[in-house]
Amino acid sequence: MSSVLVQFRTEDTAKAKATSICDRLGLDLQSYLRMCISRMNQENGIPFSMNVNDLPKIDKESSKSGALKMGALG
């Protein structure tokens, strides 16, 4: 199986934090990212919840100001 190079940009602080977390888990960042791609392929999708139903509801009257409906948060 051939391999390809995948590159993307991220903030330096985000990379440093991710690298630190991986180090504490005994991984390097590259291995973790390969694991993510492998898991995405196994799951045939994002391997964690990304459901709009999990987002807080926005009250229609206050949506212009961006205020959240308090009852939807808890």
Residue pLDDT, tens place only, 1-58: 899 999 999 999 999 999 999 999 999 999 999 999 999 999 999 888 767 777 777 7
Listed by start position, the domains of the chain span: 12-73
Q: Which amino acid is at 33?
A: L
3-state secondary structure the chain: CCCCCCCCCCCHHHHHHHHHHHHHCCCCHHHHHHHHHHHHHHHCCCCCCCCHHHCCCECCCCCCCCCECHHHHC
